Amino acid sequence: MAKEFDVCVIGTGPGGYVAAIRAAQLGFKTAVVEKRHLGGVCLNIGCIPTKALLRSAEVFESISHASDYGIDVKDFSVNFEGMIKRSRNVANKMSKGVQFLMKANKIEVLEGTGVFKSSDELSIQDEDGKEQETVKAEHFIIATGARPRQLPDLEIDGEMIIDSEKAMQLEKQPEKMVIIGAGAIGVEFAYFYNTIGTEVTLVELMETLVPVEDQDVGKELGKIYKKKGIEVLTESSVEKVEKKGKGVKVTIKTKDGNKEVEADVVLSAVGVTGNIENIGLDKAGVETEKGSVKVDKETYQTSADGIYAIGDVIGAPWLAHKASHEGVVLAEMLAGESPIPVNYNNIPGCTYCEPQVASVGYTEKQAKEEGYDVKVGKFPFSASGKATGLGHEEGFVKVIFDEKYGEWLGCHMIGSHVTELIAEAVVARDLETTGHEIISAVHPHPTMSEAVMEAVAEAYGEGVHLGSKPKKK
């Protein structure tokens, strides 16, 4: 006999487990189905463990530059195995935290792969595809996430050609690495491995690194990475990868002609695709498109009654915080409440390389393409007393406003720990705050956050720290 629930969530990543907890809080009898680890990719093999690795790289980099701060440090070196071990310990701790939350909220955890038998019944199967039990629910939520996308002619073997999961759990630090793709995953691993001594070549098809970001940010990151010793090849593509002994030979097509690079491993970091296969979506009547589950973005309803989908499996932006927010909104809608819908134009993006990258809203190019006349302000961290004192003068804050009505269209940052600063712009945009309100709000000194106010002041011709000429009002 099938177990019956009000809500059954398939997948326990940041979207799935949050949706389940909120549903349970609202009085639903709730279950989650997980085939691997509670917490999904983010907590186990994504966001959290990579941030732990990046922190190890930051500490090593700080020690390497200790003399700049008047501190003499001798006899230090990279303990690669120790870094990997710490990263895994952090991930395991967070996964256990989700286990606690499931118990605390009386959510039943069903281990196995959820496969739809119909639109109202789910089969829970083991690794061999054998059915363990079945589940019926009034509401099913698909939150199966996404996985690294593979290039057609580049088969990932887990040894010489790897994906991001393997890159954070290598047994031995490679001497040379080629990274294909300079999105968030690519630039984060480029920073980590370069910092601890691996020779890194970073290949990107587009004109700048982090191509979804404002072009000024991508250009700045490219300059900084080149100074760090990373070989940055933009407007380039990998044409061929040949296994050669214990390494690989990579042929790269650049704007200046073909280039051959030898490496120990190639990391493919060219994006993700939704986990929509082998879960019975066809039997449930759930439509898909371009590797994602098709949903109504206001209700998260799929083409099948009673089945919803959230998070990475419904497509871009592939962000944990977006998935969590969707989970909360959906659970509240199922309970008959009227939550504020997700504003997809006000979701911040954060990249945790060093310097970090953070943004929200339109890029300058996008704003102009939308027909806005814009006011643009930029404030470099080299003019910030706090950044200078910290020894992190690289980067800037850039803001974009609509000249006519003063709407804050976009905010783009590159600098040390700017992922902690972007929330000011997110909240301000949500509250429809004007530029002058930001300028008049007293920001503490000395802080990195002052750069936000200073950039806004520059946009309106009121900046005092760059020697800029006042703009005509």
- Helix 320-334 to helix 16-25 angle (10° resolution) is 30
DSSP 8-state assignment for residue 301: B
443 is an active site residue: no
Q: Residue 472's pLDDT is what?
A: 57
Ordered by where they begin, the domains of the chain are 3-148+273-334 (3.50.50.60), 161-270 (3.50.50.60), 355-459 (3.30.390.30)
Q: Residue 245's pLDDT is what?
A: 87
Stretch (H or E) spanning 100: helix 80-104
Q: Residue 470's pLDDT is what?
A: 63
Q: Residue 328's pLDDT is what?
A: 98
Task: For 380-404, write each residue's pLDDT tens digit.
Answer: 999 999 999 999 999 999 999 999 9
Catalytic residue among 321, 412, 436, 445: 445
Q: Residue 469's pLDDT is what?
A: 66
Verify cis geometry, omega within 30 degrees of 0, for the bond prior to 348.
no
Q: Which residue has the tokens 């490679």?
A: 174
Task: For 205-256, write each residue's pLDDT tens digit.
Answer: 999 999 999 999 999 999 999 999 999 999 999 999 999 888 999 999 999 9
Burial class (CB in 10 A: 0-12, 13-18, 19+), 26: middle
In sequence order, what DSSP letters do the residues of 306-338 get, joined into one string? TEEE-GGGG-SS--HHHHHHHHHHHHHHHTT--
Q: Residue 471's pLDDT is what?
A: 61
Q: Residue 465's pLDDT is what?
A: 87
Q: Give residue 405's identity as a one-letter amino acid code.
A: Y
Instruction: Tell me the mean pLDDT per 10 residues along the chain, length 473.
Output: 95 96 98 92 89 97 96 95 96 93 97 96 94 96 94 88 94 97 97 98 97 98 98 96 91 94 96 94 95 95 97 95 97 97 96 97 97 97 96 97 96 97 98 95 97 97 81 56
